[in-house]
Amino acid sequence: MSQLPVLCYHAVVDRGMPRGLLPRGARGYAVERVELERQLRTLLREGFRPVEGERLAAVAAGESSVPPRAFALTLDDALPHHAAIAARVLEGLGVRATFFIDTEGVGRSGRASWDQVRSLACLGHCIGSHGLTHRFLPGMAVAEGTRELVHSRAVLEAHVGRPVELFAAPGGRHDGAALAGARQAGYRAFFTTRPGTNEAPTGRFAWERLVVRAGTGADRLLRLVAGEARELARERLSHGVRAMARGLLGDASYDALQRVLRP
Ligand SMILES: [Zn+2]
């Protein structure tokens, strides 16, 4: 059965870069430039080939098949390090990614500028929406949710000059209403952080992703991308525990606890 694993990075940093320069929520996901390069070189060496964003949209719409040993690469949040560091690594390896941008973050202190977002598009990367404000969609009033989905897309299209067809849920949080709203807003695919490798991906709207964290490492990432059952089960278990903790504590208390536990 064909599958299309989609990697999800949050923050790519230079060695020695103070983690305090990153938004608090991104620190546990900080992958150093050399590690990103090691991870991608490992996948390429093992014969995995990247599928670009436009092809992902076509696969999601059932208009394109998935080549064997394929993977896709996504980076969430409008961070300046994506343009300054990750894009250089990707250029060196000839890999194209999809960058999910939360539009109201662009231009703020510590965030990417619109010039940087446009430069990613000019380098051949795909730009997708990550909402306007990065607020979680579940529980939002319908009008607000619609604005997050529809207006963020319009803003991105105006700045980048290309159709925006992919959406990644802020915080990975989603429910039936969020998925229905994204479909109605015209997106062709919706990316979650539910761990998985998207078996039989053709015609799929809600996509699973493999979230890369600071300690994931190239070998473990390879096992996940290869769909190794034990690694995927471990990842799903850990995702389930985090989701349960969020359910018990509520988002605010859970995030506060994360800040205490993480560097
Ligand atoms: Zn995000």
Q: Domains along the chain?
A: 6-261 (3.20.20.370)
CB of 93 closer than 8 Å to CB of 40: yes
Q: What is the pLDDT of residues 5-15, one digit of tens each?
A: 999 999 898 88
The pair of structure tokens assigned to 175 is 């429910």
Q: How far is CA 78 from CA 176, 211, 250, in A?
A: 26, 17, 25
Ligand 1 center from residue 169 Cα (angstroms)? 7
CA atoms within 13 A on the CB side of 176: 0
Average pLDDT over residues 181-209: 95
Higher pLDDT, 215 or 149: 149
pLDDT digits (tens, 9 = 90+) for 139-188: 999 999 999 999 999 999 999 999 999 999 999 999 999 999 999 999 99
SS3 12: strand
Longest dimension (CA), the chain: 47
- Residue pair 48/42 in contact (Cβ under 8 Å)? The answer is no
Measured in Å, residue 29 CA sits from the centre of ligand 1 at 11
The mean of the pLDDT values for the chain is 91
Q: What does pTM read for this prediction?
A: 0.92
Q: 138 C-alpha vs ligand 1 centroid, how far in Å? A: 15
User: Ligand 1 centroid vs 130 CA: distance in angstroms?
Assistant: 7
Q: Report the pLDDT averaged over residues 89-105.
A: 96
For residue 117, pLDDT over 80 is answered with: yes
d(CA 70, CA 66): 7
**Which two three-digit tokens encode residue 225?**
């991308």
pLDDT over 50 at 263, yes or no: no
Q: Distance from the CA of 194 to the center of ligand 1, in angstroms?
A: 14
pLDDT at 258: 63
- Centre of ligand 1 to C-alpha 1, Å, is 30
Neighbours of ion ligand 1 (CB under 5 A): 76-77
